Amino acid sequence: MGPWGRMLWTLLSGPGGRRGGTQGRVFGSWPPHPPLPRLLNPTELVSHWTGVFEKRGIPEARESSEYIVAHVLGAKTFQSLQPALWTQPLTPQQLHCVQELCSRRLQRMPVQYILGEWDFRGLSLKMAPPVFIPRPETEELVEWVLEEMAQRPPLMEAQDGPWILEVGCGSGAISLGLLTQLPKSRVIAVDREEAATRLTCENAQRLQVQDRIWIVPLDVTSEGSWTHLLPWGPVDLVVSNPPYIFHQDMEQLAPEIRSYEDPVALDGGEEGMDVITSILTLAPQLLKDSGSVFLEVDPRHPELVSSWLQSRPDLHLSLAAVRRDFCGKPRFLHVQRSGPRCSCPADPRPEPQPA
């Protein structure tokens, strides 16, 4: 076996595994087939790493290999790679790069963190642990908000508007998804974590919308923090994908999530409602009369939120609509004001009695 073959063998062997025990030393007698006499092309390389991942119990073995190989070759997906490249061997440098990235996948790092970027509604966003990775469902939250906005011409025709507050911006996905589609909109994006506000800022600059977004480090669950937002005046929309996982479910999360993403961005407390209720509590103080709240939630929340709102008539909010995600699960809530904004001295409308 010549020098190329030796290098190739090393490159393709992968690391022996970070830990010992059942997961380590899989490569002791690997590869089972004779050494490869030549450099692999993308298709072969994907098959190879898919096999490696499957042996190691890595979920989405094929998808992970495809994304990594495509990324090294400059494409976003394997399917979008030029067909001419499918049979062209990779250079040793490229192979080395693929191996580096795949070794991180063997550590269960999410693909989005491995690549350092991911797409949300066609926007390319930088990703960096531990900032929460945007989920595909959330693309539909943005879609819903855009549909709603399209039905309110006054909002769209205003010189600057609509005004939007995003709670828990993370990488900035929701805010930037809206800003890029609503050319006159203005966004105040808040997050309690500095890593998130920094990443949102970076992504806003990437997309050249930094002049229409204010990014504020803020924890909406802490007492009175919302008063810091008053200077911007009432907003048309509050939108959020707040941490909504039930605390007891946190330990069942896949290693990708548990070991790499910020638990603060996921844990919603006992019933996953802690941040949701904080948002709904501050909403009346920050929303215009015709304002709306759009939330992504756990499928168990529509009922819980509905009951909770009924237990808080002082907020004058009601659940206007529930929308399902692409898997048919009730995932998104539209909450609206059901009364006047300010507490008027003589409220003409009596409070509706619960059924």
Partner 1 sequence: TLLMSALGLLRGPAALARVCSGPWGLALGEKRMLLSPGGAATALQVASKRDGPALLPLDESELEEQFVKGHGPGGQATNKTSNCVVLKHVPSGLVVKCHQTRSVDQNRKLARKILQEKVDVFYNGENSPVLREKREAEKKKQERKKRAKETLEKKKLLKELRESSRNAAVGRTADADSLPGSTQA
- What is the nearest approach in angstroms of partner 1 to the Cβ of residue 292? 13
- What is the nearest approach in angstroms of partner 1 to the Cβ of residue 153? 16
- What is the nearest approach in angstroms of partner 1 to the Cβ of residue 4? 30
Q: Which is nearer to partner 1, 286 or 293 (CB)?
A: 293
Torsions phi, psi for 165 (to 5 deg): -110, 125
Q: Which is nearer to partner 1, 299 or 313 (CB)?
A: 299
Number of CB atoms found within 10 A of residue 230's CB = 10
Residues β-bridged to residue 164 = 187, 237
**Burial (CB count <10 Å: 0-12, 13-18, 19+), residue 294:** buried
Identity of residue 237:
L
Distance CA 249, CA 99 (A): 34
- What is the nearest approach in angstroms of partner 1 to the Cβ of residue 39? 24
Binding positions for partner 1, rule: CB under 8 A: 60, 62-64, 67, 76-80, 110-112, 118-122, 132-133, 135-137, 139-140, 143-144, 146-147, 241, 243-245, 249, 252-254, 256-257, 261, 265-266, 296, 298-299, 321-331
Q: Which is nearer to partner 1, 24 or 59 (CB)?
A: 59
Helix residue ranges, H only, the chain: 3-13, 42-55, 61-72, 92-106, 111-115, 136-150, 153-157, 173-181, 194-206, 255-260, 274-286, 301-310
Q: Which is nearer to partner 1, 168 or 284 (CB)?
A: 168
Q: Which is nearer to partner 1, 214 or 246 (CB)?
A: 246
- What is the nearest approach in angstroms of partner 1 to the Cβ of residue 327? 4
Distance CA 131, CA 33 (A): 41
